[in-house]
Amino acid sequence: MAPVCGPAVTSASRAENTLVAPAGKIRVRRTARRQGVRLILQDQPSRAGRDEISGEDGSGERLQIEAARIRNAGTLGRSVPLTRLFDFLLARSLDGQTPKEVEVAQEVFGKDADFDMGADASVRVYIHRLRRRLEAFYRAAPAQGDRLFIPLGEYRLAIADGSGVPADEAPAVDPALPAPPVATGMAKSRRPWIAALLALLLVNAGGWLLLTRSSGPAAALSALAGTPLWSPLAQSDRPTLVVVGDYYIFGEAPESTEVTRLIREFSINSREDLDQFLMRNPAQMGRLVDLDLHYLPVAAASALGALMPLVSRVAGGQTARPRVITMSQLSPDLLKSADIVYVGYLSGLGLLREAVFDASNFSVGTSYDELVDDATGTRYVSDWSEFQDGRSPRRDYGYIASLQGPSGNRILIIAGTRDAALAQMAENAVNPAQIGQIVGRAGGTSIEALYEVRTLGNTNFGSRLVKAAALRRPGSGAGGPGETGPFPDTTPKQP
């Protein structure tokens, strides 16, 4: 999908706003142009000041307590504009004020006085995003008493008791205001994608259950579990986590009314990355929008089908079904506490990327479709992007590796440059003859193998083992930046 070109904007130096609360009151100290907002609250305001902020029902104090809970939980993530918006709305709400959209645009996003609300939907986009973050927080960790919410049609934070949002806030659309344009477009364009994703998940779940219940002879699975490729996982007392490489996509709404296409940009891999890009390119606010969507390679379904019976066996038998998550859900804590089986493209390795290529005999070339043998300089390039006549086989490359993780845990990589190689590597990883070839050439349990896969259309013609060797080192101790960067997707680009 072609990227959207946007102008690079050089950020001017802008002074901060400081929200000050002496004796329980909040004032805004303004300087030239606003970019940052900092909230300062006294620990123990006087009784008179607390009454002025909180009102007789103490709702202001409850607001502050719940806001601290939201911040401490990391609900706002690393998004600078979202954090500034939250702090600004909190300060104004504690002061009993409800700012207008233009005021939010100027105070939080540094817009000029001639800001055109019709052409720039950035305020509505971020209000919508903040509202979703709050809703997600309370779904995951229900409040024991109070909960924060943003009343529909208003730009402020409000507090509700444990029964939830008051009834007059229940409608999904504020009847007094037109629906925000971007939110409307997102809702329209997301329906078919959400339906497709749900259907794919249901098919995958059904196939996984079928395959784990009818997984073939137990003796064959036990034999595979005892091979050097799989035995480190079988002998471990850690939980086994299957991680599938996924990719973040966002939407383009040229007229700020409807999302017209989805964009995959290699340098933007999360909503936080998108937020940072928008802050560097404010002209794109309202045009590029977060849809909270990720996609999986097509071959991930067949690869999981081939692997899950054996993964279940090495994880503790047929009754111990390992957890399956996407790479975007993998945290550093999970990376250290569990054994990992990665299934996906080489470009989707995410947190595992540094650990793998720090130990590997290969490095990534100009793209993830190219691997370079560090010892010989030989380049192995997938030709998926080259024009073909439909009668000549294509060449793809698959990669299998077993290494030690950052805390002594085990990491097993089953990957491909594209779908054909990924599907073939899943089959090879449960094939005793292929495992025997790898181990025969590499020896030990910290090993890697590179395969060439030939394919025509949807048909694989098999694979050829190009190289199998012991890793340069058993594994990486950190999973952080090492000797391997930069990678092809670490240089920011204009979507």
**% helix / strand / coil in the chain, to the nearest 5?**
40, 20, 40
Share of residues in the chain with pLDDT > 70 (%): 68
Q: What is the pLDDT of residue 12?
A: 34
Max CA pair span of the chain: 83
pLDDT confidence bin for 247, thresholds 50/70/90: very high
Q: Pairing relation of β-strands 323-326 and 339-345?
A: unpaired
Q: What is the pLDDT of residue 387?
A: 52
Distance in angstroms (rounded) separating the CA atoms of residues 283 and 286: 8
Distance in angstroms (rounded) separating the CA atoms of residues 470 and 441: 9
Q: Which of 143-152, 225-234, 283-292, 457-466 has the highest mean pLDDT?
A: 225-234
- Residue-wise pLDDT for 337-390, tens only, equals 999 999 999 999 999 999 999 999 999 998 888 999 999 999 999 987 655 555
Comparing 88-92, 234-238, 490-494, the range with the smallest average pLDDT is 490-494
Average pLDDT, the chain: 75
Q: What is the pLDDT of residue 144?
A: 63
Q: Which residues pair with 374 in a beta bridge?
A: none
Given a contact cutoff of 8 angstroms between Cβ atoms, the answer to whether 197 and 175 are in contact is no
Q: Which amino acid is at 189?
A: S
Residue 191: its H or E element: helix 181-213
DSSP letter for each residue of 394-433: EEEEEEEEEEE-TTS-EEEEEEESSHHHHHHHHHHHT-HH
In Å, how far are 90, 130, 169, 273 from 139, measured between CA atoms? 21, 14, 17, 24
- Residue ranges per structural domain of the chain: 15-177, 205-245+297-470, 247-292
Question: In which residue are the tokens 């909190």 written?
Answer: 90
Q: What is the pLDDT of residue 181?
A: 39
Distance in angstroms (rounded) separating the CA atoms of residues 178 and 168: 17
- Residue-wise pLDDT for 401-433, tens only, equals 999 998 899 999 999 999 999 999 999 999 999
- The values of phi and psi at residue 404, to 5°, are -85, 140
The SS3 of residue 229 is: coil
Given a contact cutoff of 8 angstroms between Cβ atoms, the answer to whether 240 and 233 are in contact is yes
The SS3 of residue 475 is: strand
Distance in angstroms (rounded) separating the CA atoms of residues 322 and 241: 6
Q: Is the pLDDT of residue 282 over 70?
A: yes
